[in-house]
């Protein structure tokens, strides 16, 4: 069953001259409960705009987003957005533990075992022993782990992620991908993951929505037939992985030329 439906979503920005330029145009797709779906597209194609509309942080110019049968008018209760820039979204005045506790507090969870729960989540993202540190004392990859743990503490049914691994180094990125898959399996959440990295999208997802150039629309819906659990070496060496990568690459680069 679809937990997330995007129907003919459009968003235009008003320019200085008064005319409006469309960022995204008539985007439609669905995400099923428990599914891991990625959105790939060229840089600057309006992916962030799309996510902001889906998270209820930006009002769309047309179309609608439906989460669990309810149309999104403001930020929905059962959905959280993880930003790319963890260093701007983490609370510098709270410790690592305090940041994760924020997710629980926001949910209205104020029982006595919140601290135990937060510590458990920090263990899941591999940050045991860093509870008392401040975010700025950690490396970029670790900070994004804190942001993910904070989002998971809110127990969202849908997790939107906006290029979350876009500003960490390549090795850390691979580690974070595997951590995310482990968490996704363990917590049975639905994830919509935005990236401009085609291989990352294939490695993580069940299904990929391919977006075209600005104003972007969906130009392809690709099912990833690769088995799980995935492995950074074996999965990426699979012949079908290569084929998919080439196909999606052709779709994106061919768009707009024709």
Q: Which residues bind another protein (CB under 8 A)?
A: 52, 55-57, 74-75, 77, 79-81, 83, 85, 88-89, 91-94, 102-103, 105-107, 134, 136-137, 154
Radius of gyration in angstroms for the set of CA atoms belonging to the chain, rounded to a whole number: 18
Smallest gap from Cβ 254 to another protein, in A, equals: 34
- CA proximity to 107, closest of 120, 118, 96, 97: 118
Q: With respect to another protein, which residue has the nearer C-beta, 83 or 130? A: 83
**Directed axis angle between helix 96-106 and helix 114-124, to 10°?**
120
Smallest gap from Cβ 56 to another protein, in A, equals: 8
Smallest gap from Cβ 232 to another protein, in A, equals: 30
What does the DSSP 8-state code read for residue 98?
H
Beta-strand ranges (E) seen in the chain are 2-14, 20-32, 36-40, 62-67, 70-71, 79-82, 158-162, 190-195, 207-211, 218-223
Q: With respect to another protein, which residue has the nearer C-beta, 8 or 106? A: 106
Q: With respect to another protein, which residue has the nearer C-beta, 77 or 236? A: 77
**Directed axis angle between helix 96-106 and helix 140-153, to 10°?**
20
Smallest gap from Cβ 160 to another protein, in A, equals: 8
Q: With respect to another protein, which residue has the nearer C-beta, 88 or 112? A: 88
Q: With respect to another protein, which residue has the nearer C-beta, 108 or 129? A: 108
Smallest gap from Cβ 174 to another protein, in A, equals: 26
What does the DSSP 8-state code read for residue 216?
B
């Amino acid at each position: 069953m679809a937990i997330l439906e995007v129907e003919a979503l459009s968003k235009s920005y008003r320019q200085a001259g008064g005319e409006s330029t469309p960022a995204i145009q008539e985007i439609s797709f669905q995400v099923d409960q428990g599914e891991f779906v990625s959105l790939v597209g060229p840089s600057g194609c309006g992916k962030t705009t799309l996510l902001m509309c889906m998270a209820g942080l930006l009002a769309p110019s047309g179309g609608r987003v439906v989460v669990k049968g309810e149309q999104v008018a403001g930020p929905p209760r059962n959905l959280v957005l993880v930003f790319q820039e963890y260093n701007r979204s983490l609370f510098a005045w709270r410790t690592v533990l305090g940041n994760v506790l924020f997710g629980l507090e926001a949910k209205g969870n104020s029982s006595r075992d919140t601290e135990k729960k937060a510590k458990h989540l920090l263990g899941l993202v591999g940050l045991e022993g860093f509870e008392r540190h401040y975010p700025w004392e950690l490396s970029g990859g670790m900070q994004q782990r804190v942001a993910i743990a904070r989002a998971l503490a809110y127990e969202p049914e849908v997790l939107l992620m906006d290029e979350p691994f876009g500003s960490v180094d390549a090795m850390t990125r691979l580690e974070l991908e595997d951590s995310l898959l482990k968490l996704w399996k363990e917590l049975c959440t639905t994830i919509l993951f935005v990236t401009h990295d085609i291989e990352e999208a294939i490695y993580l997802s069940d299904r990929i929505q391919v977006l075209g150039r600005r104003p972007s629309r969906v130009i392809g819906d690709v099912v990833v037939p690769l088995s799980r659990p995935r492995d950074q070496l074996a999965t990426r060496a699979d012949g079908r992985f290569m084929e998919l990568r080439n196909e999606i690459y052709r779709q994106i680069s061919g768009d707009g030329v024709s």
